[in-house]
Amino acid sequence: MKHLKQNIAIVYLLCASLVMAQQTPAPKQTKPIAIMGATAHIGNGEIIENSVLIFKAGKLTTVAEASVVKIDISNMEVINAAGKHVYPGFIIPNSTLGLVEIDAVRASDDDAEIGHLNPHIRSLIAYNAESKIIETIRPNGVLLGQITPRGGRISGTSSIVQFDAWNWEDAAIKVDDGVHVNWPNSFARGRWWKGEAPGLKPNENYTKQVQEVTHFIKQSQAYLNGDKPIKHLPFEAVRGLFDGSKKLYVHVNDAKAITDAVNFKNEYGIKNMVVVGGEQALQVASLLKHNNVPVLIRRVHSLPKHTDDAYDQPFKLAKVLTDAGLLVALENSGDMERMHARNLPFLAGTTVAYGLSKEQALQLITLNAAKILGIDQTYGSLEVGKSATLFISEGDALDMRTNMLERAFVDGRDISLESHQTNLWKRYSNKYKNQ
């Protein structure tokens, strides 16, 4: 009886582990694959209505109009996608996917580190490739992301991953791409719990908080330009900002602070800077364009932040910044950002209703994002020589009514689109069909 109970317990645990297990990453591509007849959305603004896409060993070898190429399909898998659409995999920048699993469980929360100036903290080594949340975003076409730390004045260093991997080593496609700084706000809201008046008022500590960043950068430059008897990890971590191998991602929203951040970049010789958030970027658009500073726009589905903002300011910001000549992409940080990451294509779809064309909106989460993150030589568009990271949708992937994926590939690997959510949907659909 004792052994029977033990065996039952073991079987129960095995079954539970199978139910909770993450989808097994797909094996490498073994034979060429051809997708025939689909409308191909290239990601650079172009469309091929009746396309043929062929990829081999994870790389695109043919992207063309079907009527102008002759191919031998005898030794390849052929996918008939007539009437369907093919897109490059969507990219989500500035995300904490894989760093937090359950907000209320502290042991599963690893998106921030103790301390205030932490450029040497690397988000990549905390990334959990088997997060249950990650498998829920792939069915909407989100296949790549920038895993970004939070907290402090200098949060740490991000990396870029693909979302079908055994571990962070397998997932990484660009390691330590940039350092993230939370720039001080030039205005602060009154804190009611301290008896302060509500509403915005000048931040009295703004200058002091900015000096905190500038002092650190001055110290790091002195260290990097001098003798280094002892390695200083925080200073070493910002070396790439001065030689161009890393980007400085400045999380900043108000116009004055954006201006100060750009001046900071120029004064200290930082090669590449990206504004993250940029709610008032339009007010300083000419400055950003002159200094070649792109913008990652915070969640489109947001309310205006200031009383004098237009009611539709968050919805049309991508349009007006694009018209101003800036390189723009979308990010989704904020409340419940990880579970909302699957809505990234619908954020882009909203910008269509506010002036962008569908192909321009697509660029916000494909090629533009790839350019900003520095991975556009390999990802972000359907072009010969680039990675076969793409998907087939029954309809318009920017519309939640027609974003229905049939197949998805990461580096040519045919990945699973199942998740615990799709399993539950099928389970209860069958339940009510049989009643």
Q: 90-379 falls under which CATH superfamily?
A: Metal-dependent hydrolases (3.20.20.140)
Q: What are phi and psi of 94, to 5 degrees?
A: 50, 60
Determine the pLDDT at residue 10.
Answer: 47
User: Which residue in this structure is represented by tokens 């402090």?
Assistant: 152
Question: For 34-55, what is the mean pLDDT?
Answer: 96
Closest by alpha carbon to 135, among 163, 172, 93? Answer: 163
The domain segmentation of the chain, as residue ranges, is 24-89+381-417, 90-379
Query: Tens digit of pLDDT for each residue in 192-205?
Result: 777 777 777 888 88
Determine the pLDDT at residue 5.
Answer: 52
* pLDDT grade for 433, boundaries at 50, 70 and 90: confident
Determine the pLDDT at residue 36.
Answer: 95
Closest by alpha carbon to 121, among 132, 110, 129, 130? Answer: 110
Contacting residues for 221 by C-beta, under 8 A, at least 6 apart: 242, 268
Query: Tens digit of pLDDT for each residue in 197-227?
Result: 777 788 888 999 999 999 999 999 999 998 8
Integer Cα distance of 310 and 280 in angstroms: 12
Integer Cα distance of 86 and 91 in angstroms: 15
The percent of residues above 90 in pLDDT, for the chain, comes to: 76
Query: Tens digit of pLDDT for each residue in 122-179?
Result: 999 999 999 999 999 999 999 999 999 999 999 999 999 999 999 999 999 999 999 9
Residue 190 has pLDDT above 80, yes or no: no
* pLDDT grade for 333, boundaries at 50, 70 and 90: very high
Determine the pLDDT at residue 18.
Answer: 40
Determine the pLDDT at residue 293.
Answer: 98
Query: Tens digit of pLDDT for each residue in 296-323?
Result: 999 999 988 878 888 899 999 999 999 9
Bridge partners of 34, per DSSP, are: 54, 78
Cα Rg of the chain (Å, integer): 23
Strand order across the beta sheet in which 77-80 lies: 59-65, 51-56, 33-36, 77-80
Q: Do domains 24-89+381-417 and 90-379 have the same CATH topology?
A: no
Residue 14 has pLDDT above 80, yes or no: no
Determine the pLDDT at residue 2.
Answer: 52
* pLDDT grade for 89, boundaries at 50, 70 and 90: very high
Question: For 346-358, what is the mean pLDDT?
Answer: 96
Task: Pull the structure tokens for residue 154.
Answer: 């200098």
Query: Tens digit of pLDDT for each residue in 233-263?
Result: 999 999 999 999 999 999 999 999 999 999 9
Residue 402 has pLDDT above 70, yes or no: yes
Comparing 63-77, 157-171, 273-287, the range with the smallest average pLDDT is 63-77
Report in angstroms the alpha-carbon separations of 38 from 44, 146, 208, 275, 395. 17, 29, 57, 36, 10
Residue 8 has pLDDT above 70, yes or no: no
**Domain 24-89+381-417 - what CATH class?**
mainly beta
Determine the pLDDT at residue 167.
Answer: 96
Give the residue, 305 or 273, on which the prediction is more confident: 273
Q: Collapse the DSSP code of 214 into the 3-class scheme (helix H, G, I; strand E, B; otherwise coil) and give the result.
A: helix
Integer Cα distance of 158 and 172 in angstroms: 11
Query: Tens digit of pLDDT for each residue in 51-69?
Result: 999 999 999 999 999 888 8
Alpha-helix runs per DSSP H in 106-159: 134-137
